[in-house]
Chains A and B, each alone.
Chain A
Amino acid sequence: MRNGWSPYMGGALTGLLLILSVLVTQQLLGAPKYLGTSTAYVKVAGLIERAVSPETVATNAYYQKKKPGIDWKVMLVLGVPIGAFIAAVRNREFRLRLVPDRWQERFGPSPALRAAGAFIGGFLIIYGARLAGGCPSGHGLSGMSQMAISAFIVVAGFFAGGIPLALLLYGRKKD
């Protein structure tokens, strides 16, 4: 693979990062923080909504369960693009683009169409992840590492929804 790490090495490092994160947060903060990203969207969405209408957030059952605010999870998700940026710049791979190549092959070069697709896709992944209780990091990595029953069901759901639609949208093509 050109100038990159094998997925096995990256996966192993991610597993170690999860273990280290759980150990460090348990020892220093008193409760373990398992890697997960979709809750951060609720925390920030709640902050935005509270700025517009504080009483709506105060009476909303879900925002009361997942209190709006900047916490460990929000910082985790903010850290990801910073780390990615450092890695991309160090390896001369930072390149501005709006339409991924494979999307363009199928749907053309329109930035507006891709932006709309990304928005709708982003809406659905967070909506679905919140209904399911987590995403591929929260359920997939952290949940399966704890052998949680919920994780196995949710991950099966990810593929049950994703594979048929992806085959329909992009076809089966070897790169």
Chain B
Amino acid sequence: MELVIGLVTGILWGYIFQRTRILRFEKHVGLLTLTDLTVLKFLLTGVLIGAIGIQILTTLGLATYHLKPTFVLANLLGGVIYGLGWAILGYCPGTAPGAVGEGSLDGIFAVLGGLCGAMAFAHTYPFWQKTVYGVGALGKISLPAILHFPPLLLGIIFAGLLLAFILFLEKMGW
């Protein structure tokens, strides 16, 4: 059951990715060179809808949060390492296999590299535990929790800010 739901969700997602050109190397490099913001527009719209929908579900008690813990230094350092790889690769962990579905065979090498990266991380994890994970370890915190603000209201405000940013991008012709 769990496996079937996962597979169906992935198929739908892959279909959306392909139709929206998110599987193209040029779109990712376009974002990182600030010349084509397709990937950013896609992500921000997803968050805009997701932020409202997830707060509605949690407010109604239909779902719970699954927050990733905050480790300020590890989050930042890992993010930067990711960014360096992203610039070279031009795909992300979901779009690399997705690109293969569209015929871009370089995605296969990205997936192989990713599997090796996962192994390397599993074996160097104790080092990071001893060093960076202790810095800024703040636990599973979210904006509504630290601001003591109703999540649904904050979700709507956040979505409004994202919408304003998107409208600004369009107005600037980006």
Contacts and interface: CB of A to CB of B under 8 A. Distances in A.
Contacts of A35: 9, 13
Nearest to B96: A122
B103 A158 contact: no
Interface string B17-45: 11111111110011011111011011111
B82 A122 contact: no
A97 B13 contact: no
Contacts of A137: 92-94
A160 B32 CA distance: 10
Given A126-B93, A137-B93, A9 B68 contact: no
Interface in A31-47: 31-35, 37-38, 40-42, 44-46
B66 interface: yes
Contacts of A171: 33
Given A79-B14, A88-B101, A157-B83, A143 B3 contact: no
Contacts of B57: 19, 22-23, 26
B20 to A, nearest CB: 3
Given A128-B82, A162-B83, A4 B19 contact: yes
Contact of B109 (A1, A122, A126, A130): A122
A141 B144 contact: no
Contacts of B83: 128, 157-163, 165
Interface residues of B, number: 126
Given A7-B41, A88-B102, A102-B25, A150 B155 contact: no
Contact of B53 (A18, A63, A75, A98): A18
Contacts of B7: 75-76, 78-79, 82
A8 B29 CA distance: 19
A106 to B, nearest CB: 9
B62 to A, nearest CB: 6
Contacts of A38: 93, 114
Q: Which of A93, A94, A157: most chain B CB closer than 10 A?
A: A157
A58 interface: no
A138 B116 CA distance: 20
Nearest to A117: B88
Q: Which of B39, B49, B76: most chain A CB closer than 10 A?
A: B49
B50 A142 contact: yes
B94 A157 contact: no
Given A80-B14, A131-B81, A169-B88, A60 B46 contact: no
Contact of B45 (A12, A128, A134): A12
A166 B51 CA distance: 29
Q: Which 3 A-B pairs have the closest CB atoms?
A: A157-B79, A79-B10, A161-B83
15 contacts: A15-B46, A16-B53, A17-B9, A21-B9, A82-B14, A82-B101, A83-B98, A100-B26, A122-B110, A125-B117, A148-B143, A149-B146, A153-B72, A157-B78, A166-B86
